[in-house]
């Protein structure tokens, strides 16, 4: 299993451009998440999904959009990139078979996408 795969690993964008960060997992996990990590800070949740077709906002959703059409993929879209969105973006997934509203299992993280907006 590859686990959680994020592409690209690095990207430089100009202000106002848009792009999609890709995230795929091959562990059949039902929960998926997007975080951003700014230097010297912890992670902040952008969006999450508890299953295909279901997404919800996290702590810092403004300027981002997500979709979850399949169990495996959870892309993050940046529209009109701004310098404040310069960050490292992590995708994660977890699994809980119990049908609970939340997972009691650890989240598995991808290697991250380092995004700079100039």
Partner 1 sequence: ELKVEQNPLFLSMQEGKNYTIYCNYSTTSDRLYWYRQDPGKSLESLFVLLSNGAVKQEGRLMASLDTKARLSTLHITAAVHDLSATYFCAGAQGGSEKLVFGKGMKLTVNP
- The site for partner 1 (CB under 8 A) is made up of 31, 33, 40-45, 48, 50, 56, 58-59, 90, 92, 101-112
As measured in angstroms, the least distance from the Cβ of 104 to partner 1 is 6
The least distance separating partner 1 from the CB of residue 25, rounded to whole angstroms, comes to: 13
Contacts of 67 (CB under 8 A, 6+ apart): 55, 74, 75, 77
Asked, as a colleague might, if the bond just before 115 is cis with ω within 30 of 0, I would say no
Separation CA 96–CA 77 (nearest Å): 26
Phi, psi of 56 (to 5 degrees): -150, 155
Query: Would you say 15 or 36 has its CB closer to partner 1?
Result: 36
Closest approach, Cβ 90 to partner 1, in A, equals 7
Phi-psi region of 10 (alpha: psi -120 to 50; beta: other; left: phi over 0): beta
Q: Are residues 74 and 82 in contact, defined by beta-carbon separation less than 8 angstroms?
A: no
Comparing CB distances to partner 1, the nearer of 42 and 99 is 42
Tell me whether residue 65 or residue 109 sits nearer to partner 1 (CB atom): 109
Nearer to partner 1, 58 or 75 (CB): 58
Rounded least distance, CB 15 to partner 1, Å:
26
């Amino acid at each position: 299993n590859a686990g959680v795969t994020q592409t690209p690993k690095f990207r430089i964008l100009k202000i106002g451009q848009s792009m999609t960060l890709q995230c795929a997992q091959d562990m059949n996990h039902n929960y998926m998440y997007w975080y951003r990590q700014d230097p010297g800070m912890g992670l902040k949740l952008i969006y999450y999904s508890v299953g295909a077709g279901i997404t919800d906002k996290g702590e810092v959703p403004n300027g981002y959009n997500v979709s979850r059409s399949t169990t495996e993929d959870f892309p993050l879209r940046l529209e009109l990139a701004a310098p404040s969105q310069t960050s490292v973006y992590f995708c994660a997934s977890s699994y809980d078979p119990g049908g609970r509203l939340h997972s009691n299992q650890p989240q598995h993280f991808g290697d991250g996408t380092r995004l700079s907006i100039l």
